[in-house]
Chain A
Amino acid sequence: MTKWTRDLVATELLACEAERRDRGRFTDEWPELDLAEAYAIQDETLCRRLERGETLVGVKLGLTSRAKQQRMSVDQPLVAWLTDAMVLPSGVPVPNSRFIHARVEPELVFIMGADLAGPGVTAATAMAAVQTVMAGAEVIDSRYTDFRFRAADVVADNASAAAFVTGPVMLAPELLNLANEAVVVEVEGRVVDTSTGAAVLGHPGEALALAANVLAERGMSIQAGQIVLTGGITDAYPIPPGASVAFHFSSLGSIHIAGGQ
């Protein structure tokens, strides 16, 4: 059996991503793997992405809704990294050949107008650093079989980050009641789910504050100009080739996503 280390797990996760290969969770093979070590693995995978030429564009939160935490049996939100290789241009079908078992979920997205460094960031001070709010669709793709993981596994796996697309409307945060900003999820033209921004920790500003405070524990911060994906508002939906999913936001416009090859 492999004696897992930070470097070996980082190598294996990036290999799984490149080879479209899912695997069992590391916490079964490395029971001592804790959250601190998992974030160190995540940071190591980021370093390797940057070394191969990718650019850091922001951060994402995962498991910010209570429903999702319960379903995944993980009791806390997670923070992870976004690079330019994950950007999916508007209107481009989800390239399933790049992914293992991609799912898509609606999110509220912030573009930062100022740096935001914890500790001690509150939802109010976090929102004051936001320049623009947009709708988003995040493609998640766990490198673990059937999305089965513990908190440390999913943190090491960069919170299942795969790709994201932003919506058509940009609004200043003071123009929106984000707790009541609604999303209607349509799959093949049928309404399958609805929710509001309150599903994200009561208000997406709470998620942003949490991200800043979690990053501060490792001496890092969120920078002006970065993108923050605040976490899925509803369940994530499969997007196989030929599928069509739409997220209709009440003030932030609609995102239409097609499943591609």
Chain B
Amino acid sequence: MLVSQRYASQLLEAYRTRRPIAPISEREPNLTLDDAYAIQLAQVEAWKADGAVIKGYKVGLTSAAMQRQLGVDQPDFGHLTAEMFHPANATIDTSAFLQPKVEPEIAFVLGRDLSGPGVNVAEAIAAVDFVLPSLELIDSRIENWRIGLIDTVADNASSGGVILGSTPTALNGVDLGGVGCNLIGNGTVLASGAGAAVLGSPINALVWLANTLGARGIGFTAGQVILPGSVTAAQSVSAGSVVTADFGALGAVTAVFG
């Protein structure tokens, strides 16, 4: 069995049993970034074979703090499938996850196709139909979130789910880097940040992903949702958590966990 198939199977099993696995990077210290993406893609292919539809992508490791923590100097990406989207203000069953956390993000919704390589900021902005306030539900199939770059890439960039708000805003005149966000948990401010925490501006994450996927022959299609990365540090959630990402003029989104 290929090494990518072996670890893809273990990760798929971790989703089913909700029992996390030991860090892959500790067992296979020679795995490359390409190997890790091969493990991720093997899982995506398995999901597709079961009928999953790709609705977009997420960019991870976009903050200076996270990059420092994992000792990396670039982001990573994961796939978003249709079933990962959860409605706002409706109870999300936390027992479906292993060790969930939430992150506030400014989600991009594309109005037209966009393919790298060679995409610049101007083209990326022009391809965005609107942004939405969002919460990304991250989760790790690796024990105690003990992840290195290889582990999180293999594990679909630690994706768990997405909760989109319903306030579309066009990018005309919006300074995404200056958009403030407060993450409120059960009525208390848990963390505060601004869009610039994401690679200087969330649009830079969209550019990076368009070019990174472009190098692999993959393009974005109109209607896809791209999560560019978190504006604050992630916060753990459990049954009973009510979390709101308040983006001020860009709207707010609330996730309820049961």
Contacts and interface: CB of A to CB of B under 8 A. Distances in A.
Given A191-B200, A250-B179, A250-B194, A180 B64 contact: no
Contacts of A202: 189
Given A180-B248, A191-B64, A198 B182 contact: yes
B193 A195 contact: yes
A248 B176 CA distance: 12
Contacts of A183: 194
Contact of B181 (A180, A190, A193): A180
A196 interface: yes
A195 B178 CA distance: 10
A182 B179 contact: yes
Interface in B208-258: 231, 246-249
A6 B192 CA distance: 40
Contacts of B64: 190-192
A17 interface: no
A191 B204 CA distance: 13
Contacts of B50: none
A197 B197 CA distance: 16
Contacts, number: 68
A179 interface: yes
A199 B192 contact: yes
A86 interface: no
B20 interface: no
A196 B194 contact: yes
B153 interface: no
Given A191-B64, A192-B64, A182 B189 contact: no
Contacts of B249: 177, 180
A248 B196 contact: yes
A184 B189 contact: no
A193 B180 CA distance: 12
B177 interface: yes
B192 A196 contact: yes
A184 B175 CA distance: 12
Nearest to B175: A250
Contact of A179 (B178, B182, B194): B182
Interface string B116-151: 000000000000000000000000000000000000
A101 to B, nearest CB: 24
A188 to B, nearest CB: 13
Contact of B196 (A179, A184, A199): A184
A181 interface: yes
Contacts of B194: 182-184, 194-196, 250
Contact of B178 (A190, A192, A248): A248
B247 A180 contact: yes
Contacts of B195: 182, 194
A182, A195, A197, A199, most chain B CB atoms within 10 A = A182
Contacts of B179: 182, 250
Contacts of B180: 180-182, 195-197, 250
Nearest to B201: A191
B178 A177 contact: no
Contacts of B182: 179-180, 196, 198
B197 A196 contact: no
A184 B192 contact: no
A29 to B, nearest CB: 38
A195 B231 CA distance: 9
A182 B178 contact: yes
B189 A194 contact: no
B235 to A, nearest CB: 14
Nearest to B231: A194
A197 B248 CA distance: 12
Nearest to B189: A198
Nearest 9 pairs of A and B residues by beta carbon: A182-B180, A180-B248, A182-B194, A194-B194, A250-B178, A196-B180, A184-B196, A196-B192, A180-B180
Given A182-B179, A184-B194, A196-B182, 14 more contacts: A179-B248, A182-B180, A182-B193, A184-B177, A184-B197, A191-B196, A191-B197, A194-B192, A194-B197, A195-B193, A196-B181, A198-B189, A248-B177, A248-B196
22 contacts: A179-B182, A180-B180, A180-B181, A180-B246, A180-B248, A182-B179, A182-B180, A183-B194, A184-B178, A184-B194, A192-B64, A194-B193, A194-B196, A194-B197, A194-B231, A195-B194, A196-B193, A198-B192, A248-B177, A248-B196, A249-B178, A250-B194
